[in-house]
Structure 1
Amino acid sequence: MHNSYWFFALLISSTIIFCFLLLKKRNFQTVLLYLTMVGYGYIIETTIFNFLGSYDYYPNLIRHNSFYDSELGAFFSNALSLPVIATLIATFQLNWFWIVFFSGYFVGIEWLFLKLHIYTHHWWRLEYTGLGLPIYFVLAKVFYKWILLPSKGFKHYFMLYLITGSISASAHILPMLFFLNRFYRPGWFENEGRDSIAFSAIYYLCASLFYCLIVKVKWKTKWIKYILSGLFTYIVNLVLIKFGILYSLVWWDQMYYVCLSLLLIVLVKIIDTRLFNPN
């Protein structure tokens, strides 16, 4: 059980820092930047972790599936500690000294987790983390400048997609990890957990694009987008079940994802408006 203590330490420290940021800045742009960095991190993690098998985490919090447990460990890193520090660096406009310092700090944590055997590399190396994190932190500063000003064109759509993806992915995958409400079996990997998470990542990436597009379409009758979103989600689930890809295991599963699609339309519309008018 000692494994979990280290991951909870990341959770607690990240939560304290994020609460500090909210109290100091008291603006919605801080939240938007945090979600942007989560969404960006998810895309990177989908590529190197889910599909390329870069490393594994061992928080020992989920006992019924080892890959789900590893996925939760990745969540502590990519949805909490890294985006929170990136948000800290960007919102306080910290210089290169702090970028190098926090990059070294996370390399040190990674090295410690390796020594504690609660994390292991496959083809990944500490050097990749050391080289990648400064880029990640610099991008946070770039995104923050975009968020502070009214955004249009590519900047607007890119940030809207990343923010939508951060919410969509978390709300889609976390219930699967804890409640086993569904799993996917496209047959890409032998490990059922990895197979399920890999497909759910593709699902959320496509769903996020759908939410962004449907919000941007001008509707004479606004409630039609909600009907189309819920109906489309329900039909996609039925098709995936029909082809033996989706296995829905609890009575509330499909209802949850239909309601989630409606909620995301509301949230994406709010975020879209705030990106256009940040003040």
Structure 2
Amino acid sequence: LGLTQVNTRNYAVCGSTSADIYNQVASRLFAPSKPELCLYALGNPGADFLRFYPPNGLNGVYVDLTNQVASTRLIDTAVLNFSNAVQRLYQKGARSITYWHQTGTNGSDIVALGSARAGLLDGYTRSYNAKITAAMEAFGRSRPDVRLYPINLYVLWNDISTNPTSFGFTETTANALGDPRLRDKSFSGPGADYLWWDRSHATSKFHGFIATSMFEELTNSVLEQLEATPANATHQIQMNHLLIGRDYTLQGSPNLNHWQDLQTFTASAGTNQWMGAPNNAATIFYRLKW
């Protein structure tokens, strides 16, 4: 793109464990001047799961999938580290954060682990995804000014790996670098339609689907919430999880047919409040429009 790399502004690391992700956020991420206007993207701690692969796991640390106590401890530690990383991002001013679910198992996992252990791995993957979802939902409930965007790679990977041709993939077993039949290794060659680039990494085509999923999540998510608190003759409306910079209109209606504008504003923070006297209707409904 012709942009100059500035380490204090652009910092990305792949292949990280959950502990690495936390340390990168805590020690190496320098918040910009207006951190609340930025989007922060955290991947998944996929490297933690490499510890399940015999004989040496990751950096000599191997966890046998049949050891339920050790395997559960690994998952819980990954969830804790990742949750703490999100907490530190929030403390540094982040208000919009995406996070990825872990992808499911595939054919190469069955080859490396055997079908029984691959099944166990998929179960622990689903456990991680469920626990990180619960942790992030709890985090969001306790912080009404943050917007959290989950990217469900588990479902995406399952859809593509079970029906690859509908997504335009022509080869799902051999990898582009290791396939002796594939002489043109360029990004624009036939290997561009392979699912695997090497034995461990998917191709740019798959990452394109990740990018599309992220764009759809960011574009279509409706995270805004309203909380109404009656107080004598007035109503207090708390507006949460607002998108900073978005134009909003708070509306009220006694019958869901005719709506009256109560407040129009551009969000300068993730929350806002309105307090006013409702009309004489026994019931009044509120909605947020943008």
TM-score category by the smaller chain? under 0.3
Which structure's CA Rg is the greater one?
A: 2
More helix by share: 1
Length-normalised TM-score, structure 1? 0.25
Length-normalised TM-score, structure 2? 0.24
Q: Which has the higher contact order (CA 8 A, sep 6+)?
A: 1
